[in-house]
Amino acid sequence: MNSVSLRLGFLGFGEAAAHFARDFSRAGVTSIAGYSRSGAKAEPGDPAYDRAQAAGVTLVRTVGALAERSDVILALTPGKAALPALKKICKYLRPDQLYVDASSNSAKAMEQAAAIVGSAAKFVDAAIMAPVDLMGLKSPFVASGPHAAEFRDRMTPHGMVIRVVGSAPGDASAMKLIRSVLTKGLAAILIESMEAARRRNVLDEVAGDVSATFNEIPFEKIIRRYISGTAVHCERRLHEMKECLELLHEMGSADRSTRATIATLRDLIRMEMPAKFPKEPADIHPVIDAIIAARDKAA
Ligand SMILES: NC(=O)c1ccc[n+]([C@@H]2O[C@H](COP(=O)([O-])OP(=O)(O)OC[C@H]3O[C@@H](n4cnc5c(N)ncnc54)[C@H](OP(=O)(O)O)[C@@H]3O)[C@@H](O)[C@H]2O)c1
């Protein structure tokens, strides 16, 4: 096992770092250091100190000491603290060191972090895709940048789950945010739809009906059918969505997501999608590329 050769440092030692550290210790990693501003002052008996002890972590008093003791630094600060924390540790970094920023942050902040690190260390943009308290070391990461593959190759043997996406710092964090456009947007549409269903006393029926549809069809197919089908049938769907809007108004139900759907359908009609796609294409790429081309031309 490579555990002996890994010297790991956590910049920020909060909830996520404590869960990871505990699992790394269990997996046999023996050299784990942690730094946080409160941890730097912690004494035996303080909760931060005891939490570190329980996770097999040595709390260090300075960022310099953290850099000195680590070959891989996993930065797990709150997003807004990521750049200030990096600026503090930067002068202590070494070119052979992996500096992995796993804070939840914008793609732009990750690009800035990569520029600050420069050649001082090997910067990796990483995004955690699951709640760490539930999945610990098995929490999936996506990572990007020129050193992402090295991060994956060095850490996978210790139990981490890392997928390299994109090639530039910022790609991994952008992917996490873009995924949220779907998941959080879907939540908003569900709320709007279920509010209307409840007002009409068909909540369980609607929930059951859409569940049956979504349970039956693999999501890859849903993505293709919904995107390709909407390009071909946007005119017909606009008509139906106007009726949906009317119904929501009659019931005094929320309509924000439905209005957004109508705006999207109108965009697709303006972009002449039905003429471009008389039949549903089997692949979503041409549809998405046509939308981008039309939007960029109109801009
Ligand atoms: N927990 C999860 O399940 C989860 C899942 C996905 C992503 N994430 C992301 O992972 C990051 C850490 O999450 P968390 O839940 O562990 O947060 P947390 O419990 O709030 O811990 C943050 C840690 O960062 C330290 N910190 C804050 N400012 C610092 C600075 N300038 N220099 C050094 N350390 C600093 C804090 O201690 P001091 O204030 O004492 O310095 C604390 O130890 C966040 O960006 C979060 O969005 C977490």
CB atoms within 10 A of CB 17: 28
* pTM for the model: 0.90
- Which domains are present in the chain? 2-167 (3.40.50.720), 175-298 (1.10.1040)
pLDDT attached to residue 5: 84
Q: Given the CA of residue 132, which atom of ligand 1 is nearest to it?
A: 3
If you measure from the C-alpha of residue 202 to the centroid of ligand 1, how many angstroms do you get, rounded to a whole number? Answer: 43
Cα of 13 vs centre of ligand 1, distance in Å, is 7
Query: Contact at 8 Å (CB) between 154 and 6?
Result: yes
Residue 77 CA to ligand 1 centre (angstroms):
3
Distance 110 CA to ligand 1 centre (A): 16
- Convert the chain into a string of H (helix), E (strand) and C (coil): CHHHHCEEEEECCCHHHHHHHHHHHHCCCCEEEEECCCHHHCCCCCHHHHHHHHCCCEECCCHHHHHHHCCEEEECCCHHHHHHHHHHHHHHCCCCCEEEECCCCCHHHHHHHHHHHCCCCEEEEEEECCCHHHHHHHCEEEEECCCHHHHHHHHHHHCCEEEECCCCCCHHHHHHHHHHHHHHHHHHHHHHHHHHHHHCCCHHHHHHHHHHHHHHCCHHHHHHHHHHHHHHHHHHHHHHHHHHHHHHHHHCCCCHHHHHHHHHHHHHHHCCHHHHCCCCCCCCHHHHHHHHHHHHHHC
**Cα 161 to Cα 291: distance, rounded to the nearest angstrom:** 34
In the prediction, which pLDDT does 1 show? 42
Instruction: State whether the beta carbon of 15 lies less than 6 angstroms from ligand 1.
Output: yes
Residue 107 Cα to ligand 1 middle (Å): 18
* C-alpha Rg value of the chain to the nearest Å: 24
Beta-carbon count within 10 A of 56 CB: 16
Q: Is 78 in the pocket of ligand 1 (CB under 6 A)?
A: yes
- Output the CA 74–ligand 1 centroid distance in Å: 11
Q: What per-residue confidence (pLDDT) applies to 248?
A: 98
Task: Give the pLDDT of the chain (299 residues) as one tens digit per residue.
Answer: 444 489 999 999 999 999 999 999 999 999 999 999 999 999 999 988 999 999 999 999 999 999 999 999 999 999 999 999 999 999 999 999 999 999 999 999 999 999 999 999 999 999 999 999 999 999 999 999 999 999 999 999 999 999 999 899 999 999 999 999 999 999 999 999 999 999 999 999 999 999 999 999 999 999 999 999 999 999 999 999 999 999 999 999 999 999 999 999 999 999 999 999 999 999 999 999 999 999 999 99
19, 73, 77, 183, best to mutate for ligand 1 pocket (most atoms within 8 Å of CB): 77
C-alpha torsion sign, points 267, 271, 272, 277:
negative
CB count within 10 Å of CB 298 equals: 9
Contact 288, 268 (CB under 8 A): no
Out of 19, 73, 76, 180, mutate this one to test ligand 1's pocket (max ligand atoms within 8 Å of CB): namely 76
Residue type, 3: S
- The answer to whether the CB of 37 is under 6 A from ligand 1 is yes
Residue 224: which residues within 8 A CB-CB, separation 6 or more?
Answer: 282, 283, 284
For residue 3, the model assigns a pLDDT of: 45
